[in-house]
Amino acid sequence: MDKLGLKSKRAVLIVFYIALPLLLFGAVMYQNSNLGLFEGISKTKGLEGGEAQNNRASTFTASGSGAKNDSFDDFKNLSSQHMTDAKNESFSGLKNYSSEPATTTITSTIPNEKLLDGLLASGFDEKSCLSRYQSYLYRKASPHKPSAYLISKLRNYEDLHRKCGPRTEYYNRTMRRIIRDRHINVKTTCKYIIWTAANGLGNRIVSMSAAFLYAVLTDRVLLVEFWHDMTDLFCEPFLNSSWEVPKSFHSLGHHKKIETYESLLKNDRGNTSRESWPSILHLNLQHGSNDHDKLFHCDHSQALLHKIPALILRTDQYFVPSLFMIPSFKQELNKMFPEKDTVLHHLGHYLFHPSNEAWGLITRFYQAYLAKADEKIGIQVRVLSTEESRTRNLMKEVLDCTLKNKLLPELDTKKSVDSSLKNKTLKSVLVASLIPDYAEYLRTMYWMKPTVTGEIIGVYQPSHEGEQKSGDNKHNMKAWAEIYLLSLCDTLVTSSQSTFGYVAQSLGGLKPWILYKSLGEKDPPLCQRAFSMEPCFHFPPKYDCTAKTKLDIGSVFPSMRFCEDINTGLKLVDNLNSSQL
């Protein structure tokens, strides 16, 4: 019996020593999971427009798209982390998008400032696009934070793009059906808007931004048709997918027999049989086209366009104000952009990341000429021709504006040297122009005499191409670098009606001084401070869809004002500041 008891005691001790480590390990795991020490996906309540968390480790909330489109019944919200891990898996059997933000959060180890307060998704290969996560090092932190709802909409769109983007099963299936049944409407899981290039780089950037916002609002996938002159300007903006339309689509997209938006409106087949709707449609909203006056901003037109699986959009305009006029988009836009004048500021930072080649041009110039400056002043002088340069005294306009508004200091004409050598302030002036005259004039001016303030002025110009070179990739590469460099300045002076300047001011979050081109006034101002950092929509609609009369912008849309540089154009303005205008 004694021997049996001893064996029992030994057995108990053996069991105890085996069980004890397991119990301790389980307790630690339980405690850590409660403390949130393990990264991953956790269930939480959806955000509804609250401020994004400014933790060191960013928290993203994926949202629903607000989609009313029944064609997305088999698609659900997936987190960016899940999508990265499952990029080769099937998307079948996924749940429908909801109109409220989704209930999944992703904790990223990338610092929040690198992700621009949650605007950017994590997971990209940083070496393939250095600018994506380095840009914050070259500009001051923006006081304009993206709303939680905008962030959730972007994460939601990224999931849609990965499902329906080029060369996916859904894309191939949809394009086959469109080609086969071009004149008979077909029900498709995915819908598209294909942007095609028009005019210069500034026009292209503002119009792509507007097209992307339209795609987000209408649950479409944005694809872009770049010409050879836009090769390698931008990084791909969407994780594990491309936004460039495959070359196989090009011949179809330019087919002359594809119906136009104008003819659709003339026939107004919205109430006719399903078979009469086209599966692909040309939508021309560019300057000089009649289509931009064809009620695009009316809900009735949007109902017709909603039925078309593929829209081929050609535009050179920033038509975002039109989207704010559409009643069915109003609630979504208000939630996405509580500050109305931040649309291109946020979308520009989200979409347009300079390629490594362009980033090299930008960073080398910045580090050589701008990095050590106490203040950086950007001056953009738009000259369409050498004839204009001769007939308009643009140099006088630049000096009158910058000197009288104390952007640049006056010269001390009584001295040839400044005897004080202490506490010198360095101002770097970046001049962007097709010709070298303006930079050379300023450089000589501040070389020949000291300033009355004792400030040291350095004047630099990256390039002077002489004229705008359409179809030239290197020309566009330099233009993109100069736009971005201007956006890194503290103060901007821009030319009127210039989309080049519009992009720079929006990326920089700046309200520039606009070199005023006289519109017939007897005594026009030297220059005028912009009341919004948004671009001007040069040729907006003039028809009130509800009253069926001429549009009264001021009474109907308090968040819009006529532009400073073209009195028929419209631009968005923050509601908080609109009463002061």
Q: Is 570 exposed, middle or buried (0-12, 13-18, 19+ CB in 10 A)?
A: buried
Domain identity same for 471 and 422? yes
**Residue 47 scores a pLDDT above 50:** no
Contact between 453 and 422 under an 8 Å Cβ cutoff? The reply is no
Residues 6+ apart with CB under 8 A from 398: 379, 381, 438, 442, 493, 515
Domain identity same for 155 and 76? no
How many domains does the chain contain in total? 3
Domain identity same for 157 and 265? yes
Domain assignment present for residue 2? The answer is: no
Domain identity same for 197 and 314? yes
Domain assignment present for residue 26? The answer is: no
pLDDT value of residue 417: 76
Domain identity same for 82 and 199? no
pTM of the model: 0.78
Give 68 or 454, the one with higher predicted confidence.
454
Residues 6+ apart with CB under 8 A from 492: 377, 378, 379, 380, 486, 501, 504, 505, 508, 510, 512, 513
Domain assignment present for residue 296? The answer is: yes
Domain identity same for 156 and 55? no
Domain identity same for 438 and 341? no
pLDDT above 90 as % of the chain: 50
Which segment of 221-235, 304-318, 335-349, 419-433 scores lowest on mean pLDDT? 419-433
pLDDT tens-digit readout, 131-145: 999 999 999 999 999
Domain identity same for 165 and 97? no
Q: Which of 294, 327, 351 is the last residue of a domain?
A: 351
Domain identity same for 343 and 466? no
Average pLDDT score over residue span 218-230: 93
Q: Which of 137, 159, 189 is the last residue of a domain?
A: 137
Alpha helices in 36-79 (DSSP H): none
* Segments forming the whole domain that contains residue 190: 148-351
Which segment of 16-20, 207-211, 326-330, 413-417 scores lowest on mean pLDDT? 16-20
Domain assignment present for residue 27? The answer is: no
Which of the given ranges, 347-356, 374-383, 423-432, 556-565, has the highest pLDDT on average? 347-356
Q: Which of 112, 137, 162 is the last residue of a domain?
A: 137
pLDDT tens-digit readout, 317-365: 999 999 999 999 999 999 999 999 999 999 999 999 999 999 999 999 9
Domain identity same for 516 and 411? yes
**Residue 488 scores a pLDDT above 50:** yes
Contact between 347 and 318 under an 8 Å Cβ cutoff? The reply is no
* pLDDT band at residue 522 under the 50/70/90 scheme: low
Burial 16-40 (b: 16+ CB within 10 A, else e): eeeeeeeeeeeeeeeeeeeeeeeee
Domain identity same for 121 and 211? no
Token pair, residue 230, equals 């836009």
Give 341 or 13, the one with higher predicted confidence.
341
Domain assignment present for residue 17? The answer is: no
pLDDT value of residue 75: 28
Domain assignment present for residue 13? The answer is: no
Which segment of 92-106, 156-170, 196-210 scores lowest on mean pLDDT? 92-106
**Residue 509 scores a pLDDT above 90:** yes
Average pLDDT score over residue span 116-123: 94
CA 336 vs CA 140, 296, 346, 541, 560: distances in Å: 23, 21, 10, 23, 17
* pLDDT band at residue 466 under the 50/70/90 scheme: confident
CATH number assigned to the domain comprising residue 507: 3.40.50.11350
Domain assignment present for residue 295? The answer is: yes
Half-sphere exposure in the Cβ direction for 201 (13 Å, CA): 28
pLDDT tens-digit readout, 381-406: 987 655 555 545 788 889 999 999 99
Domain identity same for 160 and 308? yes
pLDDT value of residue 407: 96
Domain assignment present for residue 497? The answer is: yes
